[in-house]
Structure 1
Amino acid sequence: MTRLHHFAFFDEGSKKEIRRTILKAISIPGYQVPFSSREMPIARGWGTGGLQVTLSIIGKDDVLKVIDQGSDESVNAVNIKKLVEKTTGIAITEGTAEATIIQSRHRIPEQPLTEGQVLVLQVPAPEPLRSVEKSERQTKILHAEEEYSGAWLQLFEQIMKYGQTKTGADHPVYVADRYVMAPSPIPRFDNHKMNHSEALILLGAGREKKIYAVPPYTDVRSLAFEDYPFTVESFVEQACHLCGATDTFLDEIIDADKDKVYYQCNDSHHCLAQVNGAIKGKGDISYA
C-alpha cells in the first residue's frame, strides 16, 4: 500500500527548517525567530503555528495530548489529534503524565510538567509590543535595545484607570531577564507555571510566522510594579462542584433553568482524574 503523505505530514526538508528555527529559539529564550510558515489543512488562526512545531519534532515513540482551553474534546483539539494520528500513527492520550508532547491552546495543564516533556503553545499574536507599535521593523529595534517602556506604560494606564492591571489573558512576561514575551493567551493563573518549568515550552504563531521558546529551568516573571504586584484570577470561597478543587483555574457555569451559578475545573481531564481517584470501588465516572 502506497503512503499518500510523509510521516507527520511535512517533507523532511520542511521539518529540518522548522527544527533549526526551534533550536535557535531555545538558544535565545523569549526571542521571536521568524520561520517559513507552511500551508496547513486547517485555517490559520486555528493553531497552525503550534501544529507545525508539533509535526516537526514528533517521533514514532512519542505520545501526544492536545487540549483547547482546558478541554481534550473540543472541536479544535479533536481535529488536530485526528490529523497527527492519521499522519504518524502515534499514540494519543488525555493523561498529562503519559504525554511526551502536549499541544495546547489557552491553557497550561494543572498537573505539573516534568523533564522530558514538551509543551507546545498555540499563539495568535506573538508580539507583546504590537498594541503600542504597529511597525514590525520598529518592534525589532525596541527588543534589540531592550526598550520596553511602552509595555510598562500600558500597565500604568490600566492601574490609573481601573486601580489594577486588567490584562486578563496573555499578560507579558520577562524571560531570563532579557526579552519581554507574550506567553500566548493563557490566563494570568498559568503564568507562574512557566517559571523554572521542568518541561521545554515551545510557542508557535503560524499566521505571524514566529517561533519562540522557554527552555527548562528558565527564569520567567510577569511584568508588574513593586507597589502593584502581579496578581492572578481569584476564586476565593469557590470550589469545583465535581471534584471539590480550590487550587485550580475554575470556569463559571450558569444554569439558567435552575437559576444557579456553579464552578468547575477548566482542565477537564485533571478534574475527572481527581473525581475518579476519590471514588474508590465505585467505578469510573465521566462527564457524559
Structure 2
Amino acid sequence: MIENKKYAQKHNFAFIDEATKKEIRRKLLKAVAIPGYQVPYSSPEMPIARGWGTGGLHVTLAVIGKDDIFKIIDQGSDASVNACNLREFVHQMTGCQTTYDTAEATLIQTRHRITEEELTEDQIFIYQVPQPEPLRSVERYEYKTRQMHGEADYAKMWVSLYEQIVRHGDIMLGAGYPVKVNHRYVMAPSPIPRWDVPNLNNSKALHLFGAGREKRLYAVPPYTVVEPLEFDDIKFHTESFAGTECYRTNYKKAFLDELYFDDGSKHYIINDSNFLDKLDAGQEPKQHENIYINQIEA
C-alpha cells in the first residue's frame, strides 16, 4: 500500500508557506542591494499579533534552515517571555538547534538590543521593528515621507534636531537614534539604545530589519557605513555610565541596567545576559569595538 506523505506534517517547514517565504526573500535581496531603503512586503498572518515581533519572525522564518543555530534575545535577555515563546515556536516549526550562546548562533533575532559580543561574517542579525519610518516624527503622511527619501530631502529632520539643541542643549533622542546608511538613506535602527548604534557601522554581520505591523523590510549589509546624525559642533554620544560598574563582575564597558534591592540600595548589572554569564564564568568574550567604548576606562 502506498503511504500518502503529502499531509504527514501538520504545518509547513518554518510555518509560512513557500510562496510567501520566496516573496520575503526577494524583498530582502532588494533591501540588501539598497542599504537603508524600506521595501514593502505582504506581512502574512502569524499566530501572534502584529506589533509583538511578527516582522522579525517573518524574516527569521523566511531565511532559516534546518542546519542553522538560532538565538533570540529580548532587550538583552534570553529568558524573557517574548524571547522564550518565540524561541520555542521557531524550534517547533523548524526543528533547528537553539542556543543562548551568541558566538555559537548563526541566526540571531533581537528586540531592542545588539549583543555586546562582536558579531561575525557567518551570522545574520534580525531585528523586530515597531516603527521603521525615521521621518514619522516630522512628517505624518506616508506619501510625503516616501518622496522625501526619494529626493534625499531630510531638511525637516535636521531642523527637528536643531530645535532640540536650542531648547534643551542636546539632541533628546534615546532609543532608535536615526542614522544615515551608505551616505544615502536615513534609517531607523529599531529602538536600540544609543550605546548599540556605533556597532552597526562596518559590522561583519548582515543586519535585517522587519516591521510586520508597518509591512516594511530593510537591511544593512556587512561592512556598510552607518553614521548617526550629528552636527559639526554637537556630536553624537552614547549613554553614560560613568562612575558605575556591574556589581557581579565589576565590568564597566557594557550597557548596564539599574537594579534596586529590597533594602532600597541601587546596583547596576550588565544588560546582555549571555555576555554577563560568560564574564561571570571567567571567560573573555570578544566585545564590539568603537570609539565610544574605547574611551571608557576599564
Counterpart amino acid of 1:15?
Answer: K
Residue by residue over 1:204-248, the C-alpha shift from the partner in whole angstroms, topping out at 9 and shown as x without a partner, is 000000000000000000001110000000001110011221000
Q: Which residue of 1 aligns with 2:263?
A: 258
Q: Are positions 1:275 and 2:280 aligned together?
A: yes
TM-score, normalisation: structure 1: 0.95
Per-residue CA deviations over 1:115-147 (Å, capped at 9, x if unaligned) read 010000110000000111111111010001100
Identity of aligned residues (%): 55
Distance 1:106 1:153 in 2: 26
Aligned partner of 1:258: which letter? D
Counterpart residue identity of residue 219, structure 1:
V
State whether structure 2 residue 126 is matched by structure 1 residue 116: no
Indicate whether 1:219 and 2:225 are aligned: yes
Does structure 2 retain, via aligned residues, the 8 Å contact 1:48–1:205?
Answer: yes
Q: Does 1:161 align with 2:158?
A: no
**8 Å CA contact retained: 1:243, 1:272:** no
Q: Which residue number corresponds to residue 179 of structure 1?
A: 185
| Aligned partners of 1:202 and 1:213 also within 8 Å | yes
Partners of 1:138 and 1:164 lie apart in 2 by 28
Residue type matched to 1:213 in 2? Answer: A
CA–CA separation in structure 2 for the residues paired with 1:31 and 1:250: 32
Deviation of residue 278 (structure 1)?
Answer: 5.8
Letter in 1 for 2:280: V
Which of 99, 107, 123 is the aligned partner of 2:105? 99
Q: Provide the TM-score with structure 2 as the length reference.
A: 0.92
Provide the residue aligned with 1:285 in structure 2. none
What pairs with 1:73-92 in structure 2 (closer than 5 Å)?
73-92=79-98
**Structure-1 separation of matches of 2:216 and 2:274:** 30
Quick one: distance in 1 between partners of 2:156 and 2:81? 37
Alignment match, 1:24: 30
Query: Which residues of 2 match residues 230-241 of structure 1 at below 5 A?
Result: 230-241=236-247
Q: How many residues align?
A: 278
Which segments of 5 or more consecutive residues in structure 2 lack a partner in the other structure? 285-298
1:70-108, Cα deviation, whole Å (9 max, x unpaired): 000100001100110001010000000000000000000
**Aligned-residue RMSD, C-alpha:** 1.1
* CA distance in 1 between partners of 2:260 and 2:166 (Å): 32
